[in-house]
Amino acid sequence: MRERMKAAVIGGTGYGAVELIRLIKIHPHLKIGTVVSNSQAGNSFSEAYPHLTGILEQPLEKFDPKTLAEQNDVVFLATPSGVSSRLVPELMEEGVRCIDLSGDFRLKTEEQYESWYKHPSADRAYLNQAIYGLSEIYAEKISDARLIANPGCYPTATNLGLIPIIRTNLVDFESIIIDAKSGVSGAGRGLSLTSHYVEINENLKAYKLGKHQHIPEIEQVLEEESGHPITVSFTTHLVPMTRGIMCTMYVNLKRNLSTLEVYELYKKFYKNKPFVRVRPVGTIPATKEVWGSNYCDIGLHVDERTNRLTIISVIDNLMKGASGQAIQNANLMFGWDESTGLINIPMYP
């Protein structure tokens, strides 16, 4: 039996990192390698996350690219934006493959990144090397990648919901409206007024209207898939729940289609894609139904009065929206079945 590959995780005390640790622990071809947290180096991982007591007691380490490359086969970076752009070049110079969960390598130009993220961009040479890791759409490119830009949570739910109909040229590209709602874990583990219990409990907030950093990522993918310039109206909301994203998308159709016709189009598009479940006509997915899983569930409805298509897409933001898709991309990168280590029943209730 072939020895399992070592996977390092950088950004060890964030929610994305601890979810990666959970998935690597149960993966048949991966094992936990170095876990990096400069701020808590020397402490045991279980000190940051007591639920790992007796499961993962290894010490957190400082970033050292040479040692990381020598001791690990792949590095996952679950760092805040503006960090991995500095770390990835050092790692790649040492010859190790990288999967970045931040937004540092998703956009194609330095100017666009700096405009939306307000950080210095990664070097263009590395932007050009990065493969955008929307697993269901770019699997072939991912299989040859040495650097994967893992998609954002909102763009994953949005683009998986829109791409099948966008590719048909049956929609008005100027009519796309996206209403997106996320659980609080999407804001990360850091303390802020936004995620303070009293501020979010029994409350619903819209935020970053017209300014969310995932807007150019969504448009970039939709433009590539449609071959047309696309500008979307995208509004995000914070919901008082821990996990989950629901994106409700509205597009005007160019000709009359029934819900059944659209459903059949989506079923054909996602045939043999194990993590996208297109719900039967009349069934609308809920965030709880994908909780703790790598599934993206999609529901569809054509309003025959307005000839407008409504698409409901739900994911777990820490799984398909982050760490689950990162493991799916590692599977594709190393030539394993893309579902390896990821097939599980969503937790319910």
d(CA 216, CA 230): 10
Rounded to 10 deg, the angle between the 215-226 and 153-166 helix axes is 20
Buried/exposed code over 314-349 (b: 16+ C-beta within 10 A; e: otherwise): bbbbbbbbbbbbbbbbbbbbeebebebbbeeebeee
**296 is a catalytic site residue:** no
SS3 for 314? Answer: strand
Q: Confirm if 314 and 248 have CB atoms less than 8 A apart.
A: no
The 10 Å Cβ neighbour count of residue 82 is 17
**Amino acid in position 148:** I
Q: Which position among 98, 153, 247, 296 bears the catalytic label?
A: 153
Structure tokens at 200: 């979010």
The pair of three-digit structure tokens given for residue 253, joined into one six-digit string = 């159709």
β-sheet with 131-132: strand ranges across: 30-36, 5-10, 74-77, 97-100, 147-149, 131-132
Read out DSSP for 136-162?
A: TTSHHHHTT-SEEEPPPHHHHHHHHHH
Which of 58, 13, 53, 51 minimizes the C-alpha distance to 31?
A: 58
C-alpha to C-alpha distance for 12 and 48, rounded to whole angstroms: 9
- Rounded Cα–Cα distance for residues 101 and 27 (Å): 19
Helix (H) or strand (E) holding 266: helix 259-269
Neighbours of 196 (CB within 10 A): 11
Written as six digits, the tokens of 246 are: 């629901």
Catalytic residue numbers, as ranges: 153
